[in-house]
Structure 1
Amino acid sequence: MALHFELVTPERLVRSEEVHMVVVPGTEGEFGVLQGHAPFMSTVRDGDLAIYKTENGEPVKIRIEGGFAEVNEKGLTVLAERAEG
């Protein structure tokens, strides 16, 4: 099963795709999100968002600055103040 992931900034939708897992730089520490994760909300610190398209694949990293991450029944949405890429 795939996780629906969206990365959004105030200017644009950066990514919207089905992925295996995303590791988010939360303010309380990094956390990984897979399909079926419990509902969750966190603030995000500046750092690299790691997107794993497949279980054993190398991650695509995108530098983000600040914002929020929300996990719900639809998937993971990261609302970043800025994103490179």
Structure 2
Amino acid sequence: MAEAFKFELVSPERLLVSAEVESVVIPGAEGEMTVMAHHAPVMTTIKPGVVTVKNASGSEERYVVFGGFADIVPAGC
């Protein structure tokens, strides 16, 4: 079982998701990126697509995004 980390999905209007998760797959500008705990720091643009979140319980949730950016730090994203 992978280590969990804090994930937040934010829109211009409000905080949509704030949860402890095992992994997040982001549709980055240079291809899909899987983020897990202790990932190297990076900031990337997000292209339109689906963000897939694997919760600490093992279930998956998907969110449609229309662009934006991801700020990834070792403590979470």
TM-score of the aligned structures, taking structure 2 as reference length: 0.90
In structure 2, the residue matched to 1:83 is none
The whole-number CA distance in structure 1 between the counterparts of 2:14 and 2:25 is 21
Runs of 4+ in 1 over 3 A off after TM superposition: none
Identity %: 43
Name the structure 2 match of 1:11.
Answer: 13
**Aligned mates of 1:72, 1:21 — CA distance in 2:** 13
Partner of 1:73: 74
Q: CA RMSD in A?
A: 1.4
Q: What runs of 5+ residues in structure 2 fail to find an aligned partner?
A: none
Give, in whole Å, the separation in 1 of the partners of 2:13 and 2:47: 19
> For 1:75, what is the secondary structure of its paired residue?
coil
Give, in angstroms, the shift of residue 73 of structure 1: 3.3
Question: Gaps (5+ residues) in structure 1?
Answer: 77-85
- Which secondary structure does the structure 2 equivalent of 1:73 belong to? coil
| Number of residue-to-residue matches in the alignment | 75
2:55 paired residue number = 53
Could you tell me how far apart the structure 2 residues matched to 1:30 and 1:17 are?
A: 21
Q: How many Å separate the matches in 1 of 2:13 and 2:59?
A: 28
